[in-house]
Amino acid sequence: MTEGPTDFDTEALRRWLSPHVEGLDGSLTLTKVGEGQSNPTFRLETSDGRRFALRAKPGPAATLLKSAHAIEREFRVMSALAGVGFPVPRMIVLCEDESVIGRAFFVMDYVEGRVFRDPALPTLTPDERGQLYLDIARTMAKLHSLDPASLGLEDFGRPAGYVRRNFERWLKQYRATETETIPDMEWLIEWLPEHLPQDERAAIIHGDLKIDNLICAPVAPQIAAVVDWEISTLGHPIADLAYTAMIWHVPPDLDGLAGQDLDALGIPGEDEFLATYLSTLVDLTGADVEIVGWDKQLAFNFFRAAAIVQGIKRRAIDGIASNPMAIREGRKIRPLAAWGRRIAEDGGVAA
């Protein structure tokens, strides 16, 4: 069974929201938006034509993995980031009382814009593609340049030992949702603990910054909002960067760019993307950061991505997936694990 807006009591929602949204006197309409596989997002429309976005946990708390679907953390980090002009929606209100609509949720501004699924951006011109990808690099650098303590986020995570701790966390989640034995995943599970990066740098990280978690401005090729902050934390900025860069290492059937003519598309290669990120970081902080162990960061993120997709597949099997395409998404686990192993064995060469 997949979720839809009929799961929610919109009148109960309207009554609860009334003190927080001025003039909320008429009926509400909820429409599922996006293809997210975790916390579902809905467009909330009022009878007078105003639009908001509602983001909720996917189901009753008892069915969810511990620490997963952290609505409260999303609300907190986006509230902090909005305060310093980082491109996120403005937060309105968080509801942790699951009796209102059956799960925790928050309401935020509805950001008008475009969401792209295909990283090749077929509807844009080559110049627009290049501008958008470099804006992603600059946006990541801006995020990683922010001081967590100045935003009240000094306790948002444990920065020391992020990569190892994250590996252990996703290994635990993977085992909890495992549906079959995947040899390449088992190989990565054995290999990674001895090869994880030792760098202890830390920053606010998104954790899932990919093309379909960005809202592009309606006309200009620039980011209007970064969304889906469910697994954000304090952690290793280069690990965050490597997750985004996986698209240059996998083919289109895994939502990647490998094998495509990037020059003809106008899309920068991985080297230019990384150089833009690093130069922006220098401009913002003065810090001249060196990227070391890139192949290990990539292999770690392929393992992590496969573990995330395994959770999506498990929710689909259990009937609590937030998107009907979850079973198809689950087919990516084996190839993601295979690419992670290949990068680990080849030292980062995945062409």
5-109 belongs to which CATH class?
alpha beta
For the chain, give me the number of helices (H) and strands (E)? Answer: 11, 9
pLDDT at position 51, please? 94
What pLDDT was estimated at residue 113? 96
CB 184 within 8 A of CB 343: no
Distance CA 244, CA 133 (A): 11
Of 8-22, 59-73, 223-237, 294-308, the least confident: 59-73
Number of other residues whose CB lies within 10 A of the CB of residue 169:
15
Q: Residue 304 has what pLDDT? A: 94
Packing angle, helices 183-191 and 294-318, rounded to 10: 130
Give the position of tokens 């948002």. Answer: 156
One-letter amino acid identity for 195? H
Residue 8 CB neighbours (<10 A): 21
pLDDT of residue 330: 75
Q: Bigger pLDDT: 49 or 226?
A: 226
Residue owning tokens 């830390």: 202
Lowest mean pLDDT of 41-45, 71-75, 169-173, 316-320, name the range.
Answer: 316-320
pLDDT tens digits for range 257-314 = 999 999 999 999 999 999 999 999 999 999 888 888 899 999 999 999 999 999 888 8
Which among 54, 10, 6, 48 has a CA at the least distance from the CA of 33?
A: 54
- The dihedral over CA atoms of 229, 234, 239, 242, expressed in degrees to the nearest 10, equals 30
The tokens for 316 are 């689909």
**Predicted TM-score of the model (pTM):** 0.89
Spatial contact of 239 and 208, defined as CB atoms under 8 Å apart: no
Structure confidence at residue 9 as a pLDDT band (50, 70, 90): confident
Q: How far is CA 284 from CA 207, 224, 270, in A?
A: 21, 20, 21
The type of residue at 169 is R
d(CA 237, CA 169): 18
Residue 64 above 50 pLDDT? Answer: no
At 223, is the secondary structure helix, strand, or coil? Answer: strand
Domain formed by 126-346, architecture: Alpha-Beta Complex (3.90)
pLDDT level of residue 325 (50, 70, 90 thresholds): low
What are the structural domain ranges in the chain?
5-109, 126-346
